Structure 1
Amino acid sequence: MITSVETLLVEIPTIRPHKMAVATMQTQTLVLIKIETSDGFIGWGEATTIGGLGYGEESPESIKTNIDTYFAPLLKTFTDLNVAQIMQVLKKNINGNRFAKCAIQTALLDIQAQRLGLPLSEVLGGRLRDSVPVLWVLASGDTDKDIAEAKKMIEAKRHNFFKLKIGSRAVEADVEHVLTIKKALGADISIRVDVNRAWSELEAIKGIQLLQDGGVDLIEQPCAIDNIDAMERLTRRFDIAI
């Protein structure tokens, strides 16, 4: 039985302004959830959205409020339900709130893994690899600063995959920014971009062609997220991963 549900907002300053098409961030607010059970286990989960409500329909503040007000009282009523059954009840009784539900599910799975005495990866079927490359996001908006930051990470052997946040400027300016960085870092360094849904389909056709020709490896969210038809056309038109 779940005896306690606690949420914490943890505000962490960014190392520099994080400029995106939807917002410029100075801090990143994490939502941590702590769930305790009557048999002595404690599970932790996290829900993180960026840029307030610019990124999605939930903000850190709304996630905390909804968990405290609606999810926590419901969770404390459950007895003898497994994780899948609990999530099924939450899905049935509370619409939306996918970030909040994800944090709760993570905490419950953490508890389940502890009960079984196994790593969570084993509970979920076993790990596929021992390590994964982690990319570093370049989002100062200043070409020279981004190049210097990337070179510092490369020299420290921390990262050789980089993602650039673009979309706040004209397509031509964004492309010039990206390709200047790509040229400065060299062919062995992987560059991806995240447009944060800022381009129209016509702008995307122009921008993607130039980025593909310049050796960029992936383009994330070039158009509005609900414009599925445009995304399908762009995926068919280009070889680059979209």
Structure 2
Amino acid sequence: MARRRVRLFMGELHYRPEIRLHTASSGDVPTLRELYLVLDEDGQRVACGAVRTNVEYLTGIPEMTVRDEAQHVLPLLPWDAQLEELRAIVEQQRDLSVTIRALIDTTLFDGLSRCAGVPLCVYLGGRFTGGYATNQSLFWGDDATLIDLARAYVARGFADLKLRVGVEDFERDLRRLARLRNELGDGVTLSVDVNGHWSEREAEERIERLTPLDLAYVEQPIPAGDWDAMARLARRSTIPLTLDESVASMGDVRELARRRIPAIAHVKLAKLGGVGPVVEAGRLLKAAGIELMVGQMNEGTVATAAAVHCAMALQPHRGELYGADGLLDDPANGLTYSSGAVEIGNGPGLGIAFHEQDAELLWEMTV
């Protein structure tokens, strides 16, 4: 019987200097920190998954709590079991954080599709299309960098740009958007992400003022939790709405499907707990007539590749899959970005390669 080696790694990832993750909810984030779960059998790679850990602003879970949980939970799992059996066991572990659940779930789905000899999207019932269209995000920063970065994205074929707003006053946001529209022209799709930093009244007034700029959508204009307010706003808004923080659990997914609020649902592995929950949520929402966006949390190649496969399987209205673009020290490779899309190879599983020598080993066991 093959011996299985299970290892947990950590990596610190950095973008090129001109790309700085900074939103109204995250603040300034200079480094992406990720955990990688890797399974090998007799020296051959069986599975690999990843999750970003410094996302307390989304999950409410401190980074060190996530790392401690990983090193406590992983040794207790029966790693000598079949992968499908392992997945069933993990699904029954109700006390797992969403972050650790996403890490394990993504790893096991990579392994299951590798064993089946097919790309993950095919294992999920979809069709391999070589990648998916994606937007690019313009984070908070000075105006000159904003314009330069926007022009660079357009020159590379990315004509769907989302501006992060709500960090400072709305008048500055409005001026920056107007300048982007003037500089880039009508051939570029613009949208904004408020990260829930407006009140319902502010949202109504500001959406009306944004309407002449021909935005594709306004993302999370008001805080999550007040479904009645979101429904009122969505039905009155002159610009389509996208919900991100409002879709933070399967309970939220079911509530949105029940209410059929006319908005785009932005689903992410890091919020819902991995590949399985994202696919389940996507199918439920599509059945309710709600359009989808599949996204990621500014993550590296491994986690972003999982989101790309979910997008290929679900065929959402939009993709937000830019996370691995522009990273300087990602310990994995296999994604390329050009002409408005992220491209991925058609190998089994996630179709990417993880280079363990470029990450820090935290824990290991062999069964």
Query: TM-score of the superposition, structure 2-length normalised?
Result: 0.58
- Are 2:53 and 1:54 aligned? no
Question: CA distance change for structure 1 residues 219 and 2 in 2, over 3 Å: closer, same or farther?
Answer: farther
- 1 CA distance for matches of 2:195 and 2:53? 13
Tell me the residue number matched to 2:178. Answer: 179
Higher alpha-carbon Rg: 1
Tell me the residue number matched to 2:76. Answer: 74
Tell me the residue number matched to 1:136. Answer: 136
Query: Which deviations, in whole Å up to 9, do the C-alpha atoms of 1:117-143 show, x marking residues without a partner?
Result: 121111100227443222111114222
Greater relative contact order, per chain length (Cα 8 Å cut-off, separation 6+): 2
| Aligned residues between the structures | 236
Q: Shift in Å at residue 190 of structure 1?
A: 0.9
Query: Which deviations, in whole Å up to 9, do the C-alpha atoms of 1:65-110 show, x marking residues without a partner?
Result: 211112x1232367355354133222x3x24x11221121111011
- 1 CA distance for matches of 2:104 and 2:140? 33
Tell me the residue number matched to 2:240. Answer: 241
For structure 1, which segment, 185-194 or 27-36, has the greater mean C-alpha deviation from structure 2 after superposition?
27-36
Tell me the residue number matched to 2:200. Answer: 201
Unmatched 5+ stretches in structure 1: none
Tell me the residue number matched to 1:151. Answer: 151
- Are 2:29 and 1:28 aligned? no
SS of the residue aligned with 1:196? coil
Report the residue type matching 1:34 in the other structure: V
- 1 CA distance for matches of 2:8 and 2:63? 10
Tell me the residue number matched to 1:100. Answer: 100
How large is the Cα RMSD of the aligned pairs?
A: 2.5
Q: Percent identity?
A: 23
Query: Which deviations, in whole Å up to 9, do the C-alpha atoms of 1:192-229 show, x marking residues without a partner?
Result: 21111111111111222222331111111111122222
Contact 1:161/1:190, CA 8 A, preserved across alignment: yes
Question: CA distance change for structure 1 residues 182 and 29 in 2, over 3 Å: closer, same or farther?
Answer: farther
Give runs of ≥4 in structure 1 deviating > 6 Å. Answer: none
For structure 1, which segment, 197-206 or 56-65, has the greater mean C-alpha deviation from structure 2 after superposition?
56-65
- 2 CA distance for matches of 1:216 and 1:210? 11
- 2 CA distance for matches of 1:68 and 1:161? 40
Contact 1:9/1:30, CA 8 A, preserved across alignment: yes
Question: CA distance change for structure 1 residues 59 and 86 in 2, over 3 Å: closer, same or farther?
Answer: same
- 2 CA distance for matches of 1:179 and 1:101? 42
Unmatched 5+ stretches in structure 2: 242-367
- 1 CA distance for matches of 2:72 and 2:146? 42
Q: Shift in Å at residue 180 of structure 1?
A: 1.9
Report the residue type matching 2:236 in the other structure: R
Question: CA distance change for structure 1 residues 203 and 5 in 2, over 3 Å: closer, same or farther?
Answer: farther
Contact 1:47/1:60, CA 8 A, preserved across alignment: no
Q: Shift in Å at residue 64 of structure 1?
A: 2.4
Tell me the residue number matched to 2:227. Answer: 228
Report the residue type matching 2:22 in the other structure: K
Contact 1:14/1:25, CA 8 A, preserved across alignment: no
Query: Which deviations, in whole Å up to 9, do the C-alpha atoms of 1:159-186 show, x marking residues without a partner?
Result: 1111111111122222222222122111
Contact 1:171/1:203, CA 8 A, preserved across alignment: no
- 2 CA distance for matches of 1:227 and 1:38? 52
Question: CA distance change for structure 1 residues 24 and 196 in 2, over 3 Å: closer, same or farther?
Answer: same
Question: CA distance change for structure 1 residues 39 and 155 in 2, over 3 Å: closer, same or farther?
Answer: closer
Report the residue type matching 2:47 in the other structure: G
- 2 CA distance for matches of 1:78 and 1:204? 53
Contact 2:38/2:47, CA 8 A, preserved across alignment: yes
SS of the residue aligned with 1:54? helix
- Are 2:16 and 1:12 aligned? no
Contact 1:35/1:44, CA 8 A, preserved across alignment: yes
Report the residue type matching 1:12 in the other structure: L
